[in-house]
């Protein structure tokens, strides 16, 4: 979802560090490198390594390399634990925000539907249904439906598990509150997209009483 960007290849292909002329990764003050963060956010969104590689335009080995590095650095057991890890990048607007925000679940902000052909669906919802088209990223398309965002993703076309996304002010606190009330958090809060103006889209997923997916979502800006 607009998460394009090149991930550095493993096995000694990092450029010379500018600060000291030595080989290795460029210096950073976060627990994960920028490349590891990009991959981790997509892991937390539930994507497979193959899908992540395709979205970022890198090799499958590069994705596996960064996943393994992230798991090792964070002291986690496996990829499942990485999906539920709730860390925030220091470069994120969410990390910089200080003021308290409400955690009550607000109105529905987004509904997701899987379609067989994203180009055909995009034309249908735009030209036939008449919904305003917001933006498209690869095989993901977004439309405005009276203030509720319709999210279309290309897959097997089975819309039986359409996801309801509830707007919240503080996505991290909302996820913690849901967990405290007994909800199973399947994907920890994670950034899925950063708009040109710096506004970030954050989501977290949990299960309903029948095991179907639900989500909370928030827009964060500095």
Mean of the pLDDT values across residues 187-210? Answer: 89
pLDDT digits (tens, 9 = 90+) for 66-82: 999 999 999 999 999 99
Mean of the pLDDT values across residues 147-172? Answer: 80
pLDDT digits (tens, 9 = 90+) for 24-57: 555 567 899 999 999 999 999 888 999 899 989 9
| 98 band by pLDDT with thresholds 50, 70 and 90 | low
Say which residue the tokens 């994120």 belong to: 92
Task: Look at 97 and 62; give whichever has higher pLDDT.
Answer: 62
Q: Which pLDDT score is estimated for 155?
A: 76
Q: Which pLDDT score is estimated for 211?
A: 81
| 93 band by pLDDT with thresholds 50, 70 and 90 | confident
**What is the rounded CA–CA span in Å between residue 200 and residue 102?**
17
**How is the chain split into domains, by residue range?**
1-85, 108-220
Task: Look at 192 and 158; give whichever has higher pLDDT.
Answer: 192
pLDDT over threshold 90, residue 11: no
| 101 band by pLDDT with thresholds 50, 70 and 90 | low
CATH number for the region 108-220 comes to 3.10.180.10
**What is the rounded CA–CA span in Å between residue 176 and residue 94?**
15
pLDDT digits (tens, 9 = 90+) for 130-157: 889 998 988 889 999 888 999 988 876 5
Task: Look at 20 and 177; give whichever has higher pLDDT.
Answer: 177
Average pLDDT, the chain: 81
CB atoms within 10 A of CB 202: 24
Q: Which pLDDT score is estimated for 125?
A: 87
pLDDT over threshold 60, residue 158: no
Q: Write the class of the CATH domain 1-85.
A: mainly alpha
Q: Give the ranges where the chain is alpha helix by DSSP (H).
A: 34-44, 49-56, 60-74, 79-84, 93-96, 118-123, 171-180
Task: Look at 91 and 27; give whichever has higher pLDDT.
Answer: 91
């Amino acid at each position: 979802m607009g998460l394009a960007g090149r991930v550095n290849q493993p096995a000694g292909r990092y450029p010379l560090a500018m600060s000291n002329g030595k080989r290795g990764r460029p210096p950073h003050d976060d627990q994960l490198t920028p490349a590891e963060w990009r991959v981790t956010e997509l892991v937390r969104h539930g994507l497979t390594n193959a899908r992540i590689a395709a979205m970022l335009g890198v090799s499958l080995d590069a994705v596996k390399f960064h996943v393994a590095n992230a798991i090792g650095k964070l002291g986690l057991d496996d990829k499942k634990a990485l999906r539920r890890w709730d860390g925030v990048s220091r470069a994120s607007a969410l990390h910089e925000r200080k003021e308290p925000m409400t955690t009550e679940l607000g109105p529905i902000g987004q509904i997701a539907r899987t379609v067989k052909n994203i180009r055909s669906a995009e034309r249908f919802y735009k030209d036939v249904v008449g919904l305003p088209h917001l933006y498209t990223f690869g095989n993901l398309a977004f439309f405005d439906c009276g203030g509720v965002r319709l999210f279309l993703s290309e897959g097997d076309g089975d819309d039986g598990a359409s996801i309801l996304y509830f707007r919240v002010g503080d996505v991290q606190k909302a996820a913690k509150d849901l967990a405290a009330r007994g909800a199973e958090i399947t994907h920890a809060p994670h950034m899925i997209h950063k708009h040109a103006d710096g506004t970030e889209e954050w989501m977290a997923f949990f299960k309903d009483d029948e095991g179907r997916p639900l989500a909370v979502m928030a827009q964060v800006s500095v």
